[in-house]
Structures are given as C-alpha cells and as structure tokens.
Amino acid sequence: MSQGKTALVITAHPGDFVWRAGGAIALHARKGYRVKIACLSYGERGESQWAWKTAGVKLEDVKAQRKAEAEEAARILGAEIEFFDAGDYPLRGTEAILDRLIDIYREEKPAFVLTHSLNDPYNVDHPEATRLAQEARIIAQAAGHKPDPTRAYAAPPVFLFEPHQPEQCDFKPNVILNIDDVWEVKRKAFEVLAAQKHLWEYYTRVALNRGVQGGRNSGRAMTYGEAYQRLFPMILEELA
C-alpha cells in the first residue's frame, strides 16, 4: 500500500532530522516509502560548536564534515538526502531555494511533509525552514507556476516536529508516532553525531517520555514515541 509513496522532510540543519524525525524517517522507509530529506544547510556555523574549538578551522572543512555525517545518518535511516547549502545562522531562503523546493513537491508528490515548528525563539533558522516548506507547498499548487496542463498535484498534510524546548515554541503535539520498531535505527543514527554525545541521552529521554504519553493517550503499551503537531484538518471516513 505504501508502494510508491514518498515522505518529504524539510530540515534546517542535519541534526534536526536525526533528533526530531529520525523515527518517522526510519519507520516509513521500512514500510516501503521513499523518504527524501531536503537539508537546507549543513549547520556549519551554528550547530557545529565543537568543530570551531580548533583555531584556524575552515568553513569548507566544517561543511564537508557535517555533510558526511548527514549522508551517513540518512543512509542509516534509509532516506535520500539533497543539500541546499543555504547557509545557517542565519539561514535565509532565496527564490532559488524556494523554486527547487516547489519542484521537489511536484516531483515527489509526498504523502506527507515533516518540518520545524512555526515558532522557535531560540533558533532563527527553524521557522525560516518552516516558512519555506509552507510557501513551496502552496506555490506548487499554482497552475501558472511552470505550467503543465497534464500535471496532477494536491498539497500534502504537514507535521511539525518537536523543537528542543517545546513549550517555549508554542508547540502543541497532537500526534505521537510509535517508533518502537525502529528505535534501534534511530539510536544508531544518533551515534553518527559523535560530537553531540550529550544529546544522545537527551533525545533518548524525550523518546521514552513521549512513549509513556503515547501509552497513556491510547491505552496501548508503547516504549518510544516521536511527537508531532499536525497542521490542516484531517479528512476521515471513520473516527476510530
């Protein structure tokens, strides 16, 4: 049933798709989805603090190192990854980036999209990634943008992934994804991010606590969860 389905992840930095959406990526990859990650920057300036502790390190070297990590993490999770090299801190969307994202929406016709929370007062790049994800999703619907009368396209549902400090970002999860089946894969992807070892345990605890909450909300046991905030109404044929 997931034959030919695609999932799209639009992320500001490499770490984000691992910590925040690694479970969803691995889970859907295992179910047979193609999962495509649009990685807008390498997080080279603001998410690579350790790399800059060496005097004289070069930007290009930091980028190359983060790129390699991101590719390895994507491989472990079972996803494809496309880099945009948009720069970080601040990440600024350009018309070219937007244009490529629009094309991706149309090419992939994703079954759903994962991206950042709408607000993040700790991080200027996260809401910019979300803005780009939302604008591209909308513009992809415009028949007059690169017109092609044969094209069919419908805007997919959007799920926001959990930010580092959810309450400060006005993040209110309405979905908890059970990632028990792929937890080991997600955890393995953590280990690619060797310099952020302190976050391995942090996000393991987040997954365990979301798992407990998932159990409470469903009455069905589960261990590891990923929280999401779904935008846009769901259209259902049955409520349970």
Contact between 60 and its own copies by CB under 8 A: the answer reads no
Contact between 111 and its own copies by CB under 8 A: the answer reads yes
Amino acid in position 100: R
Query: Taking Cα atoms as reference points, which of 31, 20, 35 lies closest to residue 81?
Result: 35
Contact between 61 and its own copies by CB under 8 A: the answer reads no
Contact between 49 and its own copies by CB under 8 A: the answer reads yes
CB 143 → its own copies: shortest distance, Å?
4
- Determine which residue in the list 75, 142, 194, 197 makes contact with its own copies, applying CB under 8 A: 142
Q: What is the C-alpha R_g of the chain?
A: 18
- Determine which residue in the list 4, 68, 90, 107 makes contact with its own copies, applying CB under 8 A: 90
Say how far residue 179 (Cα) sits from the centre of its chain.
Answer: 15
- Determine which residue in the list 82, 184, 191, 202 makes contact with its own copies, applying CB under 8 A: 202
| Contact partners, residue 161, CB within 8 Å, separation at least 6 | 16, 20, 21, 24, 114, 115, 116, 117, 226, 227, 228
- Determine which residue in the list 51, 65, 71, 100 makes contact with its own copies, applying CB under 8 A: 51
The C-alpha angle with vertex 223 and arms to 72 and 112, in degrees rounded to 5, equals: 55
Query: Taking Cα atoms as reference points, which of 204, 226, 185 lies closest to residue 31?
Result: 185
Stretch of 9-17, 72-80, 187-195, 212-220 contacting its own copies, by CB under 8 A? 212-220
Contact between 112 and its own copies by CB under 8 A: the answer reads yes
Say how far residue 30 (Cα) sits from the centre of its chain.
Answer: 17
Contact between 173 and its own copies by CB under 8 A: the answer reads yes
Q: Which is nearer to its own copies, 78 or 225 (CB)?
A: 225
Contact between 72 and its own copies by CB under 8 A: the answer reads no
Kindly state the tokens that stand for 6.
Answer: 């695609």
Contact between 27 and its own copies by CB under 8 A: the answer reads yes
- Determine which residue in the list 96, 143, 194, 197 makes contact with its own copies, applying CB under 8 A: 143
